[in-house]
Amino acid sequence: MPNINEARAVKKSPAKKAHTQPTEIHLQVGGVEYNCLALVEKARADYRLTHKTGIHSCKIYIKPEENAVYYVINRVEGKIPLDTAGTV
């Protein structure tokens, strides 16, 4: 039978985490391309102009036909223009 102390002494090396590449999402509409991650950052920045609390939830709605990006961050609704946000 194996010694209990010997079994405890054996330690596993930590598993290596796989390196993931950053995700890029682009929206192409009407000959214009938008970087969706840039739109998220613009919405977060707009929220932070008037709110000092941390961001716990974030939903983004892109409406090219209205030339607008709507967001709901921490249950607070906002809107930024699409023409200046995230154009590639």
Give 30-69 pLDDT, tens digit per residue.
Answer: 888 999 999 999 999 999 999 998 999 999 999 999 999 9
φ and ψ at residue 85, rounded to 5 degrees: -105, 115
Would 46 be classed as within a structural domain?
yes
Q: Which residues contact 52 (CB under 8 A, 6 or more apart)?
A: none
Would 7 be classed as within a structural domain?
no
Would 69 be classed as within a structural domain?
yes
Would 88 be classed as within a structural domain?
no
Query: How many domains does the chain fold into?
Result: 1
- The per-residue pLDDT of the chain, averaged, comes to 84
Would 76 be classed as within a structural domain?
yes
Amino acid at 41: E
| Percentage of residues in the chain having pLDDT higher than 90 | 56
Domain span holding position 46: 21-81
- pTM, two decimal places: 0.69
- The pLDDT value recorded for residue 16 is 72
